[in-house]
Structure 1
Amino acid sequence: MTAEYRVESGVAVVTLNNPPVNGLNHATRQGIVEAVTKANQDDAVRAIVITGGSKIFSGGADIREFNTPRMSQAPHLGNVIEVLESSAKPVVAAVSGTAMGGGLELAMGCHYRVAAAQAQIALPEVKLGLLPGAGGTQRLPRLVGLEAALNMIVSGDAVPAKKLAGTKLFDEVLEGDPLPAAIALAGKVAGAEKHPRARDIRIDFPEAEGYLGWARMTVAATAPQYPAPLRCVDAVTAAVTDKFDAALKKEFAYFHELSVTPESRALRHAFFAERAAQNIPDVPADTPIREIKLAAVIGAGTMGGGIAMNFVNAGIPVKLLEMKQEALDRGLATIRKNYENTAKKGRITQEQVEERMGLLQPTMSYDDIADADIVIEAVFERFDVKEQVFQTLDKVMKQGAILATNTSTLDVDRIAAVTARPQDVIGTHFFSPANVMKLLEVVRGEKTAKDVLATVMKLAKKLKKTAVVSGVCDGFIGNRMVEQYTRQAGFMLEEGATPAQVDGAIERFGFAMGPFRMSDLAGNDIGYDIRQRRYQERPDMHYGKLADYLIEKFDRKGQKVGKGWYDYKPGDRKAIPSAEVEQLIVDYRKEVGTTPRKISDAEIVQRLVFSLVNEACHILEEGIALRASDIDVVYLTGYGFPAYRGGPMQYANEFGLYNVMQAMESFARNPHADPAFWQPAPLLRRLVAEGKNFE
């Protein structure tokens, strides 16, 4: 049973038991209704308490029912709340752990509420492009006040219950288990003739109309691409201006309106995609994992230092190895500076700064890291350098240690082959800055052991990373695709566009940063080195020479030297169009005999995004990625793809795969766009022929 029933001292205790978060699936909703009905029919029962098992009240809707008929099948959550409100006997919610979304709406439908001080309270539906659909926008303003409620609903962020103590949301907030106090309160109020209902509370807020108007303008300015936050304001406005039942109908209508928007579909897709990425078909959930109590990182540069910070943030000690004292000192100083800056912003305390720095053990000896459970190298991106590192690790590391490489492009199998333990070798491709970016590409080598893969995937969660499994190929998932993206960007400069036009078009589409600004940030010399290797390994792949000339003729490496595709002022990241680069482009067009043409923003966006899609199809065909949604996760969490578009594969689904293929075939007729690349991948052709989408 997902809603267990027992009677204690004349109080019916209904315990939600639907692990892992007591999601409100159909069986649970039905169980609550049956339990409340049973309690009202039992003369020996004087009051009712609803609580959650496993120290969690409820995380809201059960994600296993999303997009199924069960989601809205009666009794839906609104029906359940009607039963609670109309109960002749008082209903008390004992809120512990979390009360999120529908879980909070359920609690607000009770007559009384007792909460643990640290319980997390939220209505996060806006993060899925929705709004609360069971009275959340109506009851929360009545219980915590208009301003606090609107902030919670529009942001979707969680707050601890103790911050809401003193509001009408909670009758009592206490440390520890709230259940005994809830049972005591239930017994105390059992004899009352009438019990309070959130719906009956009048919202009293001075000049509410002006405040809501200001809120609407603010939301419209800060989240113009997302319809849900504005609809949240509309629903809360109805709570002020309309009678409760009429406003409830508006909320329900807004919920259904939002549920069919492409933005909500994209955000829901991303939500499920992240969860699906954790599922590796041939690695069972109960695969034994290796214990990670001590980590080692080789290289104290920008990447190595960032990786080390991830471990100490999670409370895992790290031995940080460098070959020179100066480099080691510089790396430690950078880490301390990062933590000090975080402390200045109030995100951590000075005591936490020292605690985290205390978990770092600097060393210049491989022998000192021999007892680490996992070692991650973050050295220069050259095979001969990494080969030397892994040969040394093979000699010094204890048996059972995981040997991980942070390579972004190199062959993990080739690296593993220099050791006598290839089963222990895996790729852990962090993204820069490693202490900030969510994405972790976990690269599974041909001989990587299943328990190693399972361990790293679990470790990623502890490090608060979103992990996606990739097979071995040049560039893995993300960088292999972005190479095609940047190639097309370069071709468009030859054809008539400018860096600012290309960047502007894709940034208006929603990318955090266009390809040329991105290259300047990463360092144009990095791309240059990769291309030099490509010329030897992939002579069939065509590249324009503009990006090479940028380095060879003008040494414009990017922001770090104050000049790249753009000019930069000292200490300022603002990209300023460069006259030198503009002249370079003009001269290059003459060199290759190109007559400039006007390129529309629509073409820019389609060539950039669909280049990702076509290469992704090849990646799927080769089995490098497990599923199309994994590719979306990579681009949403690592490459700044706009969340409200759901990733390149979801965007292609929304655009229509037939339309995508037609666009590719038109690009293939452009001799400057690498016509061979634009032949639609067989996977895309098959899906179009079968009338299917990416999954």
Structure 2
Amino acid sequence: MSAEYQVQGNLAVISLNNPPVNGLGHATRQAIVQGISRAHEDAAVTAIIITGAGRAFSGGADIKEFNSPKAFAEPSLHTVISVLEDAEKPVIAAIHSVCMGGGLELALGCHYRIASPGAQIALPEVKLGILPGAGGTQRLPRAVGLETALNMIVSGNPVSSEKLAQTALFNQIAEGDLMTAATAFANQVAAVRPLPKVRDIRIDYPNYEAFLQFSRNTVKAMSGPFPAPLACVDAVAAAVSKKFDDGIQFERELFLKLVQTTESKALRHAFFAERAASKLPDVPDDTPVRTIKSVAVVGAGTMGGGIAMNFANAGIPVRILEMKQEALDKGLATIRKNYENTLKKGKLTQEKFDQRVALISGTLDYQEIAQADIVIEAVFEDMSVKQQVFQQLDAVMKPGAILASNTSTLDVDKIAAFTRRPQDVIGTHFFSPANVMKLLEIVRGKQTAKDVLATVLALSKKIRKTGVVSGVCDGFIGNRMIEQYSRQAGYLLEEGCTPEQVDKAVEKLGFAMGPFRMGDLAGNDIGWYIRKRRYVEKPHIVYSKTADLLCEMGRFGQKTGAGWYDYKPGDRKPYPSAVVNEMIVKHSADIGVERRKISDQEITERLIYALVNEAAYILEEGIANRASDIDMVYLTGYGFPLHTGGPMFYADTVGLSNVVRAMEKYAKGRHGEAWKPAPLLAKLAAEGKTFN
């Protein structure tokens, strides 16, 4: 699909038609240029309207052509915009719904623009680590003013068309039917000459140097490791300080430079990885899905309450089942308090508050959840407890209901075997806090039906989660990998580090928090419980005893006011603990390990490469469908730094041969058996290939 050309009376109408968002792919760009030529050759045509078919004017570049020769093939977007700008007959952009990125740059190249109310206007390129590359940084400041343009370009966030109504961006906000209004407007301006061009507008901003310097300072402080936001400020500055053509050239140079940065490659990788995660080779896009109009959650604890909030936020009624009235009342009160806190912060209206609270109810009776379309179990992480719950659910739930477990490590196939309907059983591993964290690990059992899988993937989007499918294994993707990360963190303590040093090393790289702060937040007793199970099931795996010693001291983390760190009442800030550090040093002496100074580089390599190596096994075993799925798990669920693209992309960037070389070095130290490269990693490294 490309663009359709029609003549309606004395007007030529070019409708962009490249679903779903009318991306400006090569064929579409060709069709626009051809349409302008046809309109010029037709003496009866007095004006040209460009609009978008379907649900958008244009969302910008065609993502199907990213990183391919077609993205830059002529006519390029620059060329198309020049053709529009230089057209002998007036070109009017009729904008509705979505006008973003290259779509907005295209509209800025037209002589006039008319928009429907509520259209979303944006230049979101900064979110991919680049800047608008087809004149957006030069034309938008001329159309909407310096400050508004800078805010839009640096943030990448959409602004509704009404908020820009008083600027030169729009000649009119349509009332009623957009095309009717555009047709009337086109006839009004058909004979107007000379034709106006955004490039000719003069930017009038007194003392702009001071404003731009202030903006640079602010953006620099907020942009962290990403170079694009600051480059956006420089490009917008060129719109004020340089001639238009020189500004365009400067924008192009900055764009080409940013495209080559690791940060931009990482952001683009994450962008595509998120979209790829919902695609399964054996589950076609047109797989029928089951209707989900009501949800039940078993367990009103922290996880159960958070899970329920996701569905209420999406407008789906939820009933929470508990065994005791006291536990149910406490859970419902916590949910209400969470919503009240959001209301007080102004992030929720009273109307939305009332709606969401009303959608969540409680019960002590399994029969009262029997008609739910999906039930999610969120009880204690113990197989015998899960067995009791799923046998009850199997007995009462209606035929066709999806039975989901929020297990973080347990065997979903064993859980499914507790029922007579294993095809309806699936794992839905939410991450804590469940109403905040973006990741939903969807665990596919051996007998999970394809329509169940398709339904839960679609449901993840509805509740604004990134759904990533995992096969069944101990810990699935995320927690199976984090075990190796945690083991190395424990070994580092024994060999000479403190919790603070380990955490700071990876936080300096950009992690949201290091392993010990993460343990204190999640609850150290959870890991202790899992280790006790593993001591029986997998006695060959060696763990540092420091974490067990910590738990024996009753230091379970923030919830007990003491973990790897000390905490003050009402204060979540971690304070280094002398008691814990003394325990660690004593333990090193007890096991005969001479403590040494360990560099931050060694800390980060051992932690990250432990993740990467386990991930290679996971890929090889088919637990994960693709390397980018693993990256999405860690970017959205474990606070892995976005600018690195996730553990697999990070390893690709470092070079897999360098990863293997470092592992061979660490294999000569303590616990060297942990550093045997996975066959897939060794093979790719030897062949000079990458995971992604």
Bucket of the pairwise TM-score, normalised by the shorter protein = over 0.9
Check conservation: 1:93, 1:110, Cα contact below 8 A. Answer: yes
- Structure 2 equivalent of residue 561 of structure 1: 560
- TM (norm. structure 2) is 0.99
The one-letter amino acid of 1:567's match is D
- Structure 1 equivalent of residue 374 of structure 2: 374
Check conservation: 1:150, 1:236, Cα contact below 8 A. Answer: yes
- Structure 1 equivalent of residue 358 of structure 2: 358
Match of 2:685 among 685, 688, 691: 688
- Structure 2 equivalent of residue 531 of structure 1: 531
The one-letter amino acid of 1:77's match is L
Q: How does 1:82-121 map to 2 (within 5 A)?
A: 82-121=82-121
The one-letter amino acid of 2:637's match is G
User: What do the CA deviations read for 1:618-659 (whole angstroms, capped 9, x no partner)?
Assistant: 101111000111000000000000111000000000000000
Q: 2: CA distance between counterparts of 1:35 and 1:408?
A: 56
Check conservation: 1:565, 1:578, Cα contact below 8 A. Answer: yes
Q: 2: CA distance between counterparts of 1:510 and 1:603?
A: 16
The one-letter amino acid of 1:676's match is E
- Structure 2 equivalent of residue 164 of structure 1: 164
Check conservation: 2:477, 2:618, Cα contact below 8 A. Answer: yes
Helix, strand or coil: the match of 1:131? coil
Check conservation: 2:302, 2:331, Cα contact below 8 A. Answer: yes
Q: 2: CA distance between counterparts of 1:483 and 1:114?
A: 56
- Structure 1 equivalent of residue 191 of structure 2: 191
Q: 2: CA distance between counterparts of 1:618 and 1:175?
A: 59
User: What do the CA deviations read for 1:399-455 (whole angstroms, capped 9, x no partner)?
Assistant: 000000000000000000010000000000000111111100000001000110010
Check conservation: 2:21, 2:55, Cα contact below 8 A. Answer: no
Q: 2:540 aligned with 1:543, yes or no?
A: no
In the alignment of these two chains, the number of paired residues is 692
Q: 2:673 aligned with 1:676, yes or no?
A: yes
Q: CA deviation at 1:76?
A: 0.6
- Structure 1 equivalent of residue 290 of structure 2: 290
Q: CA deviation at 1:175?
A: 5.1
Q: CA deviation at 1:158?
A: 1.0
- Structure 2 equivalent of residue 12 of structure 1: 12
User: What do the CA deviations read for 1:476-503 (whole angstroms, capped 9, x no partner)?
Assistant: 0001101110110110010001111100
- TM (norm. structure 1) is 0.99
Q: 1: CA distance between counterparts of 2:174 and 2:635?
A: 39
User: What do the CA deviations read for 1:518-560 (whole angstroms, capped 9, x no partner)?
Assistant: 00000111111111011001101000100000011x1111011
Q: 2:207 aligned with 1:210, yes or no?
A: no
Q: How does 1:43-82 map to 2 (within 5 A)?
A: 43-82=43-82
Q: 2:631 aligned with 1:607, yes or no?
A: no
Q: 1: CA distance between counterparts of 2:85 and 2:16?
A: 18
Q: CA deviation at 1:361?
A: 2.2
Across the aligned residues of Structure 1 and Structure 2, the Cα RMSD in angstroms comes to 0.9
The one-letter amino acid of 2:429's match is H
- Structure 1 equivalent of residue 510 of structure 2: 510
Q: CA deviation at 1:346?
A: 2.1
The one-letter amino acid of 1:571's match is G
336-345 vs 295-304, which moves further:
336-345
Check conservation: 1:96, 1:177, Cα contact below 8 A. Answer: no
User: What do the CA deviations read for 1:13-44 (whole angstroms, capped 9, x no partner)?
Assistant: 11000001100000000100110111112111
User: What do the CA deviations read for 1:319-365 (whole angstroms, capped 9, x no partner)?
Assistant: 11111111111111111111122222222211111111111121111
- Structure 1 equivalent of residue 254 of structure 2: 254
**Structure 2 unaligned residues grouped into runs of 5+:** none
Q: 1: CA distance between counterparts of 2:655 and 2:65?
A: 26
Check conservation: 1:512, 1:641, Cα contact below 8 A. Answer: yes
The one-letter amino acid of 2:691's match is F
User: What do the CA deviations read for 1:254-290 (whole angstroms, capped 9, x no partner)?
Assistant: 1000001101111111111111111100111111111
- Structure 2 equivalent of residue 337 of structure 1: 337
Show structure 1 runs of 4+ deviating over 4 A: none
Alpha-carbon distance change, 432 to 175 in structure 1, aligned in 2, over 3 angstroms: farther
- Structure 1 equivalent of residue 591 of structure 2: 592
Alpha-carbon distance change, 346 to 609 in structure 1, aligned in 2, over 3 angstroms: same
The one-letter amino acid of 1:557's match is F
Q: 2: CA distance between counterparts of 1:96 and 1:238?
A: 30
Helix, strand or coil: the match of 1:296? strand
Check conservation: 1:340, 1:350, Cα contact below 8 A. Answer: no
- Structure 1 equivalent of residue 28 of structure 2: 28
The one-letter amino acid of 1:687's match is L
- Structure 1 equivalent of residue 643 of structure 2: 644
Q: 2: CA distance between counterparts of 1:226 and 1:477?
A: 28
Q: 2: CA distance between counterparts of 1:344 and 1:164?
A: 29
Q: 1: CA distance between counterparts of 2:496 and 2:88?
A: 74
- Structure 1 equivalent of residue 521 of structure 2: 521
Q: 2: CA distance between counterparts of 1:343 and 1:360?
A: 17
Q: 2:660 aligned with 1:661, yes or no?
A: yes
User: What do the CA deviations read for 1:156-208 (whole angstroms, capped 9, x no partner)?
Assistant: 11111111111111111235542221121111000111121110011111211
- Structure 2 equivalent of residue 633 of structure 1: 632
Q: 2: CA distance between counterparts of 1:604 and 1:304?
A: 35
Q: 1: CA distance between counterparts of 2:194 and 2:338?
A: 57
Helix, strand or coil: the match of 1:55? coil
Q: 1: CA distance between counterparts of 2:311 and 2:379?
A: 18
The one-letter amino acid of 2:97's match is G
Q: CA deviation at 1:677?
A: 1.5
Q: 2: CA distance between counterparts of 1:118 and 1:403?
A: 40
Q: CA deviation at 1:586?
A: 1.2
**Structure 1 unaligned residues grouped into runs of 5+:** none
Q: 2: CA distance between counterparts of 1:620 and 1:436?
A: 28
Helix, strand or coil: the match of 1:392? helix
Helix, strand or coil: the match of 2:195? coil
Check conservation: 2:631, 2:645, Cα contact below 8 A. Answer: yes
155-164 vs 237-246, which moves further:
155-164
Q: 1: CA distance between counterparts of 2:576 and 2:493?
A: 14
Alpha-carbon distance change, 550 to 176 in structure 1, aligned in 2, over 3 angstroms: farther
The one-letter amino acid of 2:53's match is G
Q: CA deviation at 1:9?
A: 2.8
User: What do the CA deviations read for 1:99-153 (whole angstroms, capped 9, x no partner)?
Assistant: 1100111111111111121111111100110000000000111111111111110
Q: 2: CA distance between counterparts of 1:299 and 1:176?
A: 50
Q: 2: CA distance between counterparts of 1:220 and 1:347?
A: 27
Check conservation: 1:387, 1:415, Cα contact below 8 A. Answer: yes
User: What do the CA deviations read for 1:224-256 (whole angstroms, capped 9, x no partner)?
Assistant: 300111110110010010000000000011100
Q: How does 1:212-251 map to 2 (within 5 A)?
A: 212-251=212-251
Check conservation: 1:520, 1:559, Cα contact below 8 A. Answer: yes
The one-letter amino acid of 2:679's match is P
